[in-house]
Structure 1
Amino acid sequence: MSAEHSGELSKHETELRVWMSEWYDHAFAIGFIRPPFILDDATALRLEGYFNVGLTPAEGVSAIFGVVH
């Protein structure tokens, strides 16, 4: 039985959840977000993209909340 059919998360999903948790903790620690923080679908997709290309959670925070020049 695959992870998909057993209700278990894939390795990618598990690692993404850990990354997103670290992203949230960092964004909260430096004051960009406050609970309750609702992550919309568009931002979640952007964050998954940052995870997929290898950014750290801190780099992901900068990419989402940083100033664009």
Structure 2
Amino acid sequence: MCDDASSGLPQHIIDLRAWISDWYDHAVAAGFVRPPFMLDDATAERLEGYFMVGLTPAEGAAAFFGSVH
């Protein structure tokens, strides 16, 4: 099995994958989702946006699953 660090992926992608993994762990711990959670393209793009603006994984989970006022 090949890990991200040795796969030749750009650092941005490695960091994004780690962020999404942390986001998922937080979302499960907070009770927002139960495993397995299927990540579709639209969700991945939305999460990448949260990552790009500098939200923490916990902030990203709250933004993703929070209610809209």
Q: Tell me whether the two structures share a fold, i.e. TM-score over 0.5.
A: yes
What CA distance in whole angstroms lies between the structure 2 residues aligned with 1:33 and 1:41? 18
Unaligned runs of 5+ residues in structure 1 are 1-6
1:20 Cα deviation from its structure 2 partner: 0.4
Deviation per residue, 1:22-68 (Å, 9 max, x gap): 00000000111111110111111000000001000011001110011
How many residues align? The count is 63
Per-residue CA deviations over 1:7-29 (Å, capped at 9, x if unaligned) read 51111001001100100000000
Quick one: distance in 1 between partners of 2:9 and 2:33? 27
Return structure 1 stretches of 4+ with deviation > 3 angstroms. Answer: none
- 2:37 matched to which residue of 1? 37
Structure with the greater alpha carbon radius of gyration: 1
Look up the match of 1:63. Answer: 63
2-side partners of 1:41 and 1:63: how far apart?
18
Q: Which runs of 5+ in 2 are unaligned?
A: 1-6
What is the aligned-residue identity percentage?
68
Aligned-CA RMSD value: 0.8
CA distance in 1, matches of 2:65, 2:35: 16
